[in-house]
Structure 1
């Protein structure tokens, strides 16, 4: 009889989050349940209940996991862009892909529809931390910080909206599919130019 490898609590939790992320991308947020994740990783429902407390807890942990990994990647891209090693479009693509291809937009929409709004807190908090960490590097005044916060808000809302209905809306308006990304890129380029001129 084969025995399962004994995992540490952290390894078990990470395995569950990776499975939840795969389910989110493959079949959508409605499939991110304790039962589905448990089946995928060969664990019991009770085991996942122990780690996350509920399906809502699993979704909140998944949101935090997505936010942390995505924001770390965006932070690296922002720094590369500032060093002249990258382009603002890379930052835009990372943000848009996080909400679209990585499923954060669908997860956010699902959590709002199911009344699990506090599960969005990790995403909001992680983005805020990212901005607060990056902003002092280029912001000299309170107005600079506020402008960076406004641009972050615009970028995230564009990425979220694009993930939820960008394809249909762009098609309806006769615009190319990447119209929202191009708008976000223009916004970031203008922002960088304004900081360089100041």
Structure 2
């Protein structure tokens, strides 16, 4: 993890301090993993004393919980955007893959999911349940003539999510081993997806 210069301390509202703390915590998670998300590191990143960070988040566990909740909301929003695209955009299948891969990669959902699972914080995953179910319903609406929708569509969503998760967590290392570029997995899933949702009339 890069050792960045410490910003000068300055006055800010409680809401601003909390928002800046969460932004810094997310950057620390993406750059250094869960172990990097500490009160001291967040304080250093935003120019705030350790005591003040505790004031806004209560404890290290409070900071981590707030970060998880913030990132889960962002993931749910990203899935909601994908649902909207499926209803309105002719290029929806490739856009769906793009949105989900972005959420797990640059958005940090892959690192977050790995953190939640390894920490056995499964209850936090319940927050995105409805967003995932909405996504399944949107794919069903997109392919109304697809046989066995109730079994095939959840499988399609599962494939996209697992591929996006794996690409976010270990993809960079595997791509390097295999001589693949950064979009290789995303491109492959986008190519496969139309084959999975093809209808008998196509």
What is the TM-score normalised by the length of structure 1?
0.72
Corresponding position of 1:15:
20
The match for 1:169 is: 174
Output aligned runs, 1:169-188, within 5 Å: 169-173=174-178, 175=180, 177-188=182-193
Q: Is the 8 A contact 1:105 1:164 kept in 2?
A: yes
Indicate the residue corresponding to 1:4 in structure 2: 11
Q: CA 1:121–1:146 in structure 2 vs 1: closer, same or farther (change >3 Å)?
A: farther
Name stretches of at least 5 consecutive residues in structure 2 with no aligned partner: 1-8
1:17-44 deviation digits (Å, cap 9, x = unpaired): 1221232334443321111112333434
Tell me if the contact between 1:74 and 1:95 (Cα under 8 Å) persists in the aligned partners: yes
Q: Looking at secondary structure, tell me which structure has more helix per residue.
A: 1
Range that drifts further, 14-23 or 46-55: 46-55
CA offsets 1:82-113 (integer angstroms, 9 cap, x no match): 32354322221222222222333234435555
Query: Map of 1:34-45 to 2, 5 A cutoff?
Result: 34-45=39-50
Aligned length: 189
**Residue in structure 1 matched with residue 95 of structure 2 by the alignment:** 90
Aligned to 2:128: 127
- Report the 3-state secondary structure (helix = DSSP H, G, I; strand = E; otherwise coil) of the residue aligned with 2:107: coil
Query: Are the equivalent residues in 2 in contact too, given 1:77–1:86 (CA < 8 A)?
Result: no
Root-mean-square deviation (Å): 3.3
Once structures 1 and 2 are overlaid, which stretch shifts more, 104-113 or 11-20?
Answer: 104-113
TM-score normalised to structure 2 length: 0.71
Deviating more after overlay: 48-57 vs 11-20 = 48-57
Tell me the distance in 1 between the aligned counterparts of 2:10 and 2:101.
42
Verify: 1:117 aligned to 2:120, yes or no.
yes
Shift of 1:164: 2.0
| Residue 100 of structure 1: aligned partner | 105
Q: Secondary structure at the match of 1:193?
A: coil
